Amino acid sequence: MTLLNSGDRVSDTLVIDRLLGEGAFAEVHRVQHEYLGWQAMKLFKRVASKEETKAMLGEARLLSTLGHPNIVRLFEASTVQTPEGLRGFFTMEYVAGGSLERLAAAHRPSVPTDLVAEVMLQIASGLAVAHDQDPPIVHRDVSLANVLVGYDGSGMRIRVSDFGLAKRADPFTRLASAQGTYAFMAPEVLRNQGYSCASDVWSVGTIAYLLLTNHFPFDDGAQFSSYSFARFAKPLLPPSSYNETVDRELDKIIMATLEVDRNNRPATARELYDALRARKETVAREPIQAAQNSVARPPTERAKKLAEEALSLRYVPGQLNRAADLMEEAVNLSPHLREQHLPKLLLWRRGVIM
């Protein structure tokens, strides 16, 4: 049971459309804004006042006003009456493509190297702006679920969400929700030695490692191993030992982000970004390798339906954005559909109906 359900009215302009996901401390709904179309709404399960909601969002709001393309934009924060009483919520841009979890699942066992490098570059770009603040803003919970994958007119656009929310979530709910996110946490964080920008850098490296290899770094396969510090004592295999398409430079960058001693990592996302940028320029100068022969599974029925709905909706006047959102969802669900429809989606995002 969720606090709010499809059709529930949140405010004069917002109506719940459907549930997108649920964690221990919040549920996320897609909402329909009367004028602005779809938005995502995060509803806190325990936060009960407007002041508390705004306090939770302090850093996220600050970052949102910077308007960086790789940081999720927030719209409003308020409270809504639910069957269990008043609850805080905030709305943010809806990214139809979903999170990296979906991208990883669609490409399993491994996401193409170029795509991972681009994902990593854009996450680093968003985090760099946060780390550049004085004092630096540390995300604290960079994971597959908090990185959203959309497309604009020029290509894939990654957006990092939920800045600083982890800081204020109470430890108990953290524990309940963190099964997934512990795996992305740096050793010093697990040892309660405090967060720094370098802890975020570790999380970005973990994401890249996982996407490329389908393995968590330092995961020895033992049950509950993510709780044991002993695993960090073993040497880490580079991503290329699982995935031969990973180039040496990317190997090196990722291995640096996963240095157990935080002093040996890039200190901030800015440093990581610069390294990825330099690699990208080098790669661009190299001769193009033959395309990876991906074993493209046929798209699922759901993905196919989304794409078909998008293709017919694009001709309905005023519905191009909605069509693009549906297609964005479809291409992230299926590499096959991505190959087939990505150019079209980018055109739609540029306002061209084709």
Partner 1 sequence: MIECATLSCAGSLHPDNQDRLLADPERGVFLVVDGMGGLADAAATAGIVVSQLSAAMNAVDVHGPDVRQVVTGVLDKVNAAVRAAARTGPGTTGAAVAMVVVRDGRALAVHLGDSRIYLARNGKVTRLTEDHTEDGHLTRFLGMGGEVSPDVSLHDLRPGDRILLCTDGLTGTVEDRAIGAMLTRAGDLNRVCRQLVDAATEGGTIDDTSVVVVCP
Query: Which chain residues interact with partner 1 by CB under 8 A?
Result: 34-37, 65-69, 73, 75-76, 153, 315, 317-321, 350-354
> Smallest gap, in angstroms, from Cβ of residue 118 to partner 1?
19
> Smallest gap, in angstroms, from Cβ of residue 74 to partner 1?
9
> Smallest gap, in angstroms, from Cβ of residue 40 to partner 1?
14
Neighbour tally for 305: CB within 10 Å: 13
**What residues are labeled active site?**
141
Residue 71 or residue 111: which is nearer to partner 1 going by CB?
Answer: 71
Residue 314 or residue 338: which is nearer to partner 1 going by CB?
Answer: 314
Residue 34 or residue 220: which is nearer to partner 1 going by CB?
Answer: 34
Are 207 and 144 in contact, with CB atoms under 8 Å apart? yes
Q: Looking at the DSSP assignment, which residues form a beta bridge with residue 215?
A: none
CA distance to 147, 202, 219, per residue, from 226 (Å): 21, 15, 7
Q: How many CA atoms lie within 13 A of 178 on its CB side?
A: 21
One-letter identity of residue 232: F
> Smallest gap, in angstroms, from Cβ of residue 177 to partner 1?
29
One-letter identity of residue 39: Q
**Cα(154)–Cα(188) distance, rounded to whole angstroms?**
38
3-state secondary structure 2-59: CCCCCCCECCCCEEEEEEEEECCCEEEEEEEECCCEEEEEEEECCCCCHHHHHHHCHH
Residue 3 or residue 123: which is nearer to partner 1 going by CB?
Answer: 123
